[in-house]
Amino acid sequence: MCESNAFLKKGDREELFLKDVTRVVPLAGGKLRLESLLGEEKIIEAKILELDLMGHKLILGE
């Protein structure tokens, strides 16, 4: 499977925001909609800071 976990960077820390992300959709106003494998959906005002495809990790920040 190719799902990634999304983390929110806060200072030097990274906090898990959503597991098993399958889709990221940009929205108006600098927001992102993230959807998970199980159908969970979260919207956050953030930027993509890093996308590690080999490590299955998405880092979001403000």
Q: For 11-23, write each residue's pLDDT tens digit.
A: 999 999 999 999 9
Q: What is the per-residue pLDDT across 23-45, written as a single tens digit (0 to 9) for each?
A: 999 999 999 999 999 999 999 99
**pLDDT score at 1:** 61
Measured distance CA(19)–CA(56) in Å, rounded = 10
* Domain span at 25: 4-61
Terminal-residue alpha carbon distance, the chain: 28
Residue pair 45/60 in contact (Cβ under 8 Å)? The answer is no
Count of the separate structural domains present in the chain: 1
Q: What is the pTM of this model?
A: 0.91
pLDDT at 62: 83
Position 39 scores a pLDDT of 96
For residues 46 and 32, is the Cβ–Cβ distance under 8 A? yes
Cα gap 16→46, rounded to integer Å: 14
